[in-house]
Amino acid sequence: MTHSHTQADLPRCRAMLGQPNDYLDGDLAAELCQALETHMAGCHDCQIVFDTLGQTVRLYHSLDDAPAELPADIEARLLLRLQEKASSAARSEH
Ligand SMILES: [Zn+2]
């Protein structure tokens, strides 16, 4: 089954990816967690972003004196990539 990103998905992606640290730390509300997992099952972009985030977080947690949260610039870069995708998709609609 092929599922490509539609414009309707992108605001949801950004809303969900706004709290990756909470999700990865298990602090996110259970129903929100489930919505995120359901969304990711059909959204390749979010799978990649979360896979990357998860690996980064695991790496951080494996270090001594690891910060509890991702560095802001890593998170910002991942979100920026999604926003670039969103704006290029919006442009191609015109
Ligand atoms: Zn998504």
> What are the pLDDT digits (tens) for 39-94?
888 888 888 888 887 787 777 777 776 556 666 777 777 777 777 777 776 676 55
Q: What is the pLDDT of residue 33?
A: 76
Residue 3 lies in a domain: no
Residue 4 lies in a domain: no
22-34 pLDDT, tens digit per residue, is 766 777 677 777 8
Q: Is the distance from CB of 59 to CB of 24 less than 8 angstroms? A: no
Residue 88 lies in a domain: yes
Q: Give residue 35 CA to ligand 1 midpoint distance, Å.
A: 11
Structural domains in the chain (count): 1
Range of the structural domain that residue 82 is part of: 9-93
Q: Give residue 89 CA to ligand 1 midpoint distance, Å.
A: 14
User: Rounded to whole angstroms, how far apart are CA atoms 16 and 84?
Assistant: 16
Q: Give residue 20 CA to ligand 1 midpoint distance, Å.
A: 12
Residue 66 lies in a domain: yes
User: Rounded to whole angstroms, how far apart are CA atoms 5 and 44?
Assistant: 8
Residue 1 lies in a domain: no
Q: Residue 2 pLDDT > 60, yes or no?
A: no
8, 23, 28, 17 alpha-carbon torsion, rounded to 10°? -30
